[in-house]
Amino acid sequence: HYGRGQSGPASRRTTNMAGLVLALVLLAAVQTLAVSRYEINQVRITDLQDKLSGLRDRYEEHEPKAVAKVKELLELEGRVYDLEAGGHCGHRQWRCGTTTLKCISDLLVCDNHNDCDDNSDEANCENPAHAGLALVGDTYNVKCLAESTPTHMSMNVIGEKRLTWFPTVAELQVYLKFDFEAMDHREGVYEGIYYYGAKTLVVYPQEGDGIAITCEFTTSNSDYCHATFRNLKTKDICGESVLTSA
């Protein structure tokens, strides 16, 4: 016999059962809330994925047009610059100023000697392909390699040496990286040279390579260049890229 105020086994079982039921109810509520949040997040993720897919499709649709427009703009800017600085001069020649008809070899430009009457050949002799330059860009019209096609490339100038005995050029060390469609990439350090008169960077192929790369800058302080891949056997252009500052 139990006195008033004391709890017997039945009472304790009832209390424990009530506590267990409450715990189960709370656990069910938490699980329901978690499931509800999960479902909501899944809907949001699905919506974001759909939007991302749409943006990717739009980008892929307009990318060729955008690249073509950029190339067209660069070529137009280059033609304007050539009309101002090159004019009537022939291949591998450079026009002195804008008010003279005198042409000199582009190998005489920026050689620390005034070959033009107005000294214009020794003006604007900065090297846009200087050490520390980092350029990136997508490739297009690539048909150099039969087994795979690079879709993106990066170029970093990691070394620069102006030749005292031939100052119209600068020797360079260039780090190149190519990303391929198959999630693969190739990279390496190449020797190169920058021609001040032609405003062109030439990257020499490594042993066994059949492709050389040139990159033409519009001005001596450009932060972009138009790269072309050239087959060494046929001399044909087999790929292009517009490289801009990273």
Tell me, what CATH number does 159's domain have? 2.40.128.620
Residue 215: phi and psi, rounded to 5, are -135, 115
Report the domain count for the chain.
2
CB 239 within 8 A of CB 141: yes
User: Is 75 part of any domain?
Assistant: no
The arithmetic mean of pLDDT across residues 18-23, rounded, is 51
Q: Are residues 132 and 240 in the same domain?
A: yes
pLDDT of residue 73: 58
Same domain? 144 vs 237: yes
Q: Do residues 242 and 74 make contact, with C-beta atoms less than 8 angstroms apart?
A: yes
pLDDT above 90 covers a percentage of the chain that reads 25
Task: Please check whether residue 183 lies inside any domain of the structure.
Answer: yes
How confident is the model at residue 2, as a pLDDT? 41
More confident residue, 78 or 224: 224
Give the alpha-carbon dihedral of 84, 88, 91, 93, to 10 degrees: -70
Residue 58 sits in the same domain as residue 130: no
Above 90 in pLDDT, residue 3?
no
| Selection from 232, 230, 215, 243 nearest residue 127 by Cα | 215
| pLDDT at residue 46 in the model | 65
Q: Is 241 inside a domain boundary?
A: yes
For the segment 122-167, what is each residue's pLDDT rounded down to a tens digit? 988 999 999 999 999 998 888 877 667 788 999 999 999 998 888 9
The pLDDT assigned to 210 comes to 81
pLDDT the model gives residue 192: 93
Q: Is residue 167 part of a domain?
A: yes
Which of 52-66, 69-83, 85-99, 212-226 is the least confident region?
69-83
Q: Are 36 and 133 contained in the same domain? A: no
In the block, tokens 């190739």 appear at 186
| Neighbour count for residue 225 (Cβ, 10 Å) | 25
Neighbours of 81 (CB within 10 A): 14
CA distance 39 to 33: 10
Whether residue 104 is contained in a domain is answered as no
Q: Which helix (H) or strand (E) holds 79?
A: helix 9-85
Residue 37 predicted with pLDDT over 60:
no
Q: Is residue 87 part of a domain?
A: no
pTM: 0.63
Average pLDDT, the chain: 76
By residue range, what is the domain housing residue 29? Answer: 10-65
Q: How many CB atoms sit inside 10 A of residue 226's CB?
A: 21
Q: Are residues 237 and 138 in the same domain?
A: yes
